[in-house]
């Protein structure tokens, strides 16, 4: 059974702090990893993708991948109230099937 696990939260951080969101996956063969942001009542939108071990930075967002530990994380620096959303980790498991985690709810307090 292919699985993607996330802490459901809610994760609450003060404005300006770093929010750290974590995701573990079960398939050692997975090659690509995606983070989506989903506002309440809206559809998911892509935040970051990462394919290689290490860090990938895009503005205030940093994705970190450790394939040996089967672990991918998303860091949000200088968190803003507008970052309050659910963050979904998504891992393709070969072919056309992508498994989405249940998501972590993030609240950024002003």
Partner 1 sequence: DGGITQSPKYLFRKEGQNVTLSCEQNLNHDAMYWYRQDPGQGLRLIYYSQIVNDFQKGDIAEGYSVSREKKESFPLTVTSAQKNPTAFYLCASSPLGGGQETQYFGPGTRLLVL
Residue holding tokens 């991918």?
72
According to the binding rule CB under 8 A, does residue 35 interact with partner 1?
Answer: no
User: Which span sits near partner 1 by CB under 8 A: 12-20, 31-39, 55-63, 70-78?
Assistant: 31-39
Applying CB under 8 A, among 44, 62, 79, 106 the residue interacting with partner 1 is: 44
Sheet holding 61-66, edge to edge: 4-6, 19-25, 71-76, 61-66, 54-58
Do 85 and 21 touch, CB atoms closer than 8 A?
no
Applying CB under 8 A, among 19, 21, 101, 108 the residue interacting with partner 1 is: 101
d(CA 110, CA 61): 19
According to the binding rule CB under 8 A, does residue 18 interact with partner 1?
Answer: no
Spell out, one character per residue from 50 to 89, where the chain touches partner 1: x when CB under 8 A holds, - when not: --------------------------------------x-
d(CA 84, CA 9): 12
Closest CA to 107 of 31, 29, 27, 21: 21
Chain residues that interact with partner 1, rule: CB under 8 A: 4, 8, 31-32, 34, 42-46, 49, 88, 90, 92-103
């Amino acid at each position: 059974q292919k699985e993607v696990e996330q802490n459901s939260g809610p994760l609450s951080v003060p404005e300006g702090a770093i929010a750290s969101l974590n995701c573990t996956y079960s398939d050692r063969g997975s090659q690509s990893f995606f983070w989506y942001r989903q506002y309440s009542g809206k559809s998911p939108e892509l935040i970051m993708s990462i394919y290689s071990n290490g860090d990938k930075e895009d503005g205030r967002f940093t994705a970190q991948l450790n394939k040996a530990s089967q672990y991918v994380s998303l860091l949000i620096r200088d968190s803003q109230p507008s970052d309050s959303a659910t963050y979904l980790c998504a891992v393709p498991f070969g072919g056309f099937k992508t498994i989405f985690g249940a998501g972590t709810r993030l609240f950024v307090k002003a």
